Amino acid sequence: MNLFADAFAWLFSPDRLTGSHPLPTAIAEHLFYTFVSVAIAAVVAVPLGYLVGHTRRGRDIAVALAGAGRAVPSFGLILLLVLVFGVLHKPAAAITAFVLLAIPSILAGAYTGIEAIDRAVIDAGRAVGMTQWQVFRKIEVPLSLPLVMAGIRSAVLQVVATVTLAAYVGLGGLGFYIIQGVPLRRFDQILGGAIAVVILALVLDGIFALLERVATPRGVTAGRRNPSEPHRATNKEVMEQIENYAVEQIN
């Protein structure tokens, strides 16, 4: 376990705050690339996923896209785009790769989020006179939020891991310490960098797990405790909402 002691010594050394690649800068770079890419991907994929879920069209394409996305080697995609965009546009090339890798899981979260809603709830909304838009805004969006957040959470994890690899093309971030350490045989640096990446990934995952919970409408426990009856609580909650809505309309 000597190596771990060395790694922590490296990680907490005052040298990490100075030099050409200080640790805080590397963390900031890593977070910057992750959030920018996931935000762009969400802006593209959430509306698209909602469109697929709401219209029930293009589902096969979305499923195929999610499957193909898993097969794309992320490391290869970054290097390919860096070559194609030109070395001068490395950040743009890398962010494009991250966005492309983040889109399938967010897309899947958005359309399954709407698909998982019991049809009876949507029909009930229509029955009390909700317009298409109201069904979407008052039923489908709130009920799909937990799964949308789950999709974003897994996209964040994937991008954090991929940003680490992007240090190979000189993008910075925490992967820099690992990649630079390999030819130098600096195992304290490799392990220290790895520990920093793991902590970052775990913290982000924890934050997004929390956001997922916050995004869950009160009373909705879809798939939480008993996966065999995911919709019961959902329906009850939304039926109440619809009743309230109907009461509002009558008043």
Asked whether position 170 contacts another protein by CB under 8 A, the answer is no
- Supply 20's token pair: 């050409």
Nearest CA-CA partner of 108 in 50, 37, 158, 54 = 50
228 φ/ψ angles, rounded to the nearest 5 degrees: -80, -20
Residue 73 within binding range of another protein, rule CB under 8 A? yes
User: Residue 128 has which token pair?
Assistant: 């009390």
- In the bound state with another protein, the residue whose beta carbon lies nearer, of 137 and 224, is 224
The tokens for 196 are: 């920093």
Task: Confirm or reject binding of residue 219 to another protein (CB under 8 A).
Answer: no
Residue 63, number of CB atoms within 10 A of its CB: 16
Report if residue 96 touches another protein, rule: CB under 8 A: no
**Rounded Cα–Cα distance for residues 150 and 215 (Å):** 10
242: contact with another protein by CB under 8 A: no
Cβ closest to another protein, residue 70 vs residue 232: 70
Q: Nearer to another protein by C-beta: 45 or 191? A: 191
Instruction: Say which amino acid occupies 42.
Output: A
Yes or no: say if 109 and 152 are a contact pair by the CB < 8 Å rule: yes
CB of 99 to another protein, least distance (A): 16
Say how many residues make up the chain: 251
Q: CB under 8 A: which stretch of 13-21, 119-127, 128-136, 195-203 binds another protein?
A: 195-203
- 135 or 149: whose CB is closer to another protein? 149
Reduced to 3 states (helix: H, G, I; strand: E, B; else coil), residue 74 is: helix
- In angstroms, the CA 70 to CA 178 distance is 25
Residue from the set 38, 45, 52, 79 that interacts with another protein by CB under 8 A: 79
**Options 117, 201, 222, 238; binder of another protein; rule CB under 8 A:** 201
Pick 189 or 241: Cβ nearer another protein:
189
What minimum distance in Å lies between the beta carbon of 237 and another protein?
24
User: Where does this chain touch another protein (CB under 8 A) — which range of 1-9, 41-49, 115-123, 135-143?
Assistant: 1-9
Q: Does residue 88 interact with another protein by CB under 8 A? A: no
Tell me the C-alpha distance between 215 and 87, whole Å.
40
Angle in degrees, CA 40, 45, 48, rounded to 5: 140
The three-class DSSP label of residue 111 is: helix
Task: Write down the residue that tokens 């979407």 correspond to.
Answer: 136
The two three-digit tokens of residue 143, written as one number: 């009920």
Phi, psi of 45, deg, nearest 5:
-85, -30
The answer to whether residue 191 forms part of the interface with another protein (CB under 8 A) is: yes
Judged by CB under 8 A, the residue of 42, 62, 77, 215 near another protein is 77
Q: Does 149 bind another protein (CB under 8 A)?
A: no
Binding stretches for another protein (CB under 8 A): 1, 3-4, 67-68, 70-77, 79-80, 82-84, 157, 160-161, 164-165, 168-169, 175, 178-179, 182, 187, 190-191, 193-195, 197-198, 201-202, 205, 227-228
